[in-house]
């Protein structure tokens, strides 16, 4: 309320000052008609003086009075006409100026009422930084974040099942193979290849904690031979397990990766994500910009960065920022067909990069039914039937009650399984 009182006072003061300026009489030169009147009156006085001195005869004086009086009357009529027009012009100008001032003030109030935030308190930089630090320190630990994420996933699965779209269950043969893999790793704990396979497949099954724990055991086994990518993968798996929240444990893994390789694009992405989660867009912008410059255009995380970095740049005060990379799109049918003629390894890398770009964008920004259908059909072409089915279930939940969109999703699930990424 105090804000509006102050604004109203300022507006009234400005309006009063403008009104005084518009209504104040303006000094101006004597009109030409008035000067003529003065001259003719002076001439009449001179005629009387000349008559009294005997310079003019009564007949001459009479003729002079008639002529001067005629001119005096004409000058009076001209002055009166000019005076009316002169008075109307300032009056019209004053009204127009006043209307313009009122319109400007009303427009200012209307715009602020729509875009402003009168009730928002001041937010000094020091206070905002302190709040961000408090948010950063108050992050849940890895176990708490995973518990929350697991509860949310189960709730989503229950909701999908209630809507008639249950989450597909893994193939029993795959589960049998997974059990054998676990036993093999348990019997050979120092086998790095086994730990890598265990980590990857536990994540595919949704056993996220088991997946990142296997990755951590792999790093411990490698010891000094562990690379930056190993720590980045550990941090990424921990973040996935925590539902996308970068916890302190995951941050430590990314920090280790960046100590070993400051240009690790994926680690830069996740640390920037963490800064954004903790209300530090200024730091998030610098990290994401560095990730864009260090990452290949087809990297899966590039799509998410490209979608949000211009907003981060604005929040960070970079008004003229231009991303170094264009926003990637999902694979088109032509791109998928063109990939058929490539060598198997190159073909797989190309298609997977584009598919993961699309997947990242949909996960973070959402998209149309066409985008979801494209992702599902692309995964089926890659032979990833289970993953395509899981994403189709999520898409059905998002487009519940929209027959046209659901038809597109169902059509995508009928795309024949392919073997683009398989070795010949």
Supply the pLDDT for residue 329. Answer: 47
Supply the pLDDT for residue 120. Answer: 57
Residue 295 DSSP code: S
Name the stretches of the chain with pLDDT < 70.
1-4, 18-34, 37, 79, 81-98, 101, 105, 109, 112-125, 307, 325-351, 401, 403-404, 415-424
Name residues whose C-beta falls within 8 Å of residue 322's C-beta, 6 or more positions apart in sequence.
none
Q: DSSP of 305-336, one letter per residue?
A: HHHHHHHHHHHTT-TT---SSPPP-PPPHHHH
Supply the pLDDT for residue 247. Answer: 94
Distance CA 300, CA 231 (A): 18
pTM above 0.85, yes or no: no
Name residues whose C-beta falls within 8 Å of residue 370's C-beta, 6 or more positions apart in sequence.
408
Which tens digits make up the pLDDT trace of 303-313? 778 767 888 88
Supply the pLDDT for residue 144. Answer: 95
Supply the pLDDT for residue 358. Answer: 81
The Cβ of residue 351 has, within 10 Å, a number of other Cβ atoms equal to: 24
Distance CA 280, CA 8 (A): 36
Do 374 and 330 touch, CB atoms closer than 8 A?
A: yes
Name the burial class of residue 61, with classes exposed (0-12), middle (13-18) and buried (19+) by CB atoms within 10 angstroms of its CB.
middle
Which tens digits make up the pLDDT trace of 39-49? 777 887 887 88
Supply the pLDDT for residue 338. Answer: 55
Widest CA span of the chain, in angstroms? 149
The first and second tokens of residue 409, run together, are 């999703």
Supply the pLDDT for residue 418. Answer: 61
Supply the pLDDT for residue 216. Answer: 96
Our CA angle for 348, 351, 353, nearest 5°, is: 100
Distance CA 373, CA 329 (A): 14
Supply the pLDDT for residue 421. Answer: 45
Supply the pLDDT for residue 223. Answer: 94
Supply the pLDDT for residue 401. Answer: 63
Supply the pLDDT for residue 289. Answer: 93
Count Cα atoms within 13 angstroms, Cβ side, for 309. Answer: 25
């Amino acid at each position: 309320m105090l804000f509006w009182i102050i604004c109203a006072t300022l507006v009234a003061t400005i309006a009063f000052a403008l009104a005084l300026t518009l209504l104040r009489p303006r000094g101006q030169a004597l009109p030409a008609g008035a000067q003529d009147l003065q001259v003719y009156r002076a001439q009449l006085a001179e005629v009387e003086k000349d008559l009294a001195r005997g310079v003019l005869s009564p007949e001459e004086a009479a003729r002079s009075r008639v002529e001067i009086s005629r001119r005096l009357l004409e000058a009076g009529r001209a002055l009166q006409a000019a005076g009316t027009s002169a008075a109307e012009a300032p009056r019209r100008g004053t009204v127009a100026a006043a209307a313009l001032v009122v319109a400007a003030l009303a427009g200012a109030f209307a715009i602020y009422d729509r875009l402003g935030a009168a009730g928002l308190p001041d937010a000094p930089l020091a206070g905002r930084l302190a709040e961000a630090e408090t948010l950063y320190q108050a992050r849940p630990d890895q176990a708490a974040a995973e518990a929350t994420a697991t509860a949310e996933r189960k709730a989503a699965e229950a909701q999908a099942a209630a809507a008639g779209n249950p989450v597909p269950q893994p193939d029993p043969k795959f589960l049998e193979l997974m059990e054998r893999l676990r036993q093999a790793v348990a019997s050979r704990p120092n086998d790095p290849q086994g730990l890598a396979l265990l980590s990857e497949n536990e994540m595919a099954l949704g056993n996220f904690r088991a997946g990142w724990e296997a990755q951590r055991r792999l790093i411990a086994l490698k010891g000094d031979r562990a690379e930056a990518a190993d720590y980045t993968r550990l941090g990424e798996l921990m973040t996935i397990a925590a539902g996308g929240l970068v916890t302190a444990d995951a941050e430590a893994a990314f920090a280790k990766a960046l100590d070993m390789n400051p240009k690790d694009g994926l680690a830069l992405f996740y640390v920037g994500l963490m800064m954004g989660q903790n209300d530090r867009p200024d730091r998030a912008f610098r990290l994401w910009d560095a990730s864009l410059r260090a990452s290949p255009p087809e990297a899966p995380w590039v799509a998410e960065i490209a979608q949000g970095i211009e907003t981060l740049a604005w929040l960070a005060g970079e008004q003229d920022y231009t991303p170094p990379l264009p926003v990637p799109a999902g694979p088109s049918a032509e791109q998928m067909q063109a990939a058929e003629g490539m060598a198997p390894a190159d073909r797989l890398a190309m298609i997977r990069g584009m598919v993961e770009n699309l997947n990242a964008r949909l996960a973070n920004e959402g998209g149309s039914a066409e985008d979801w259908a494209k992702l599902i059909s692309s995964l089926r072409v890659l032979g990833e039937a289970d993953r395509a089915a899981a994403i189709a279930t999520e898409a059905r939940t998002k487009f519940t009650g929209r027959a046209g969109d659901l038809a597109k999703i169902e059509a995508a699930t009928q795309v024949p399984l392919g073997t683009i990424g398989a070795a010949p």
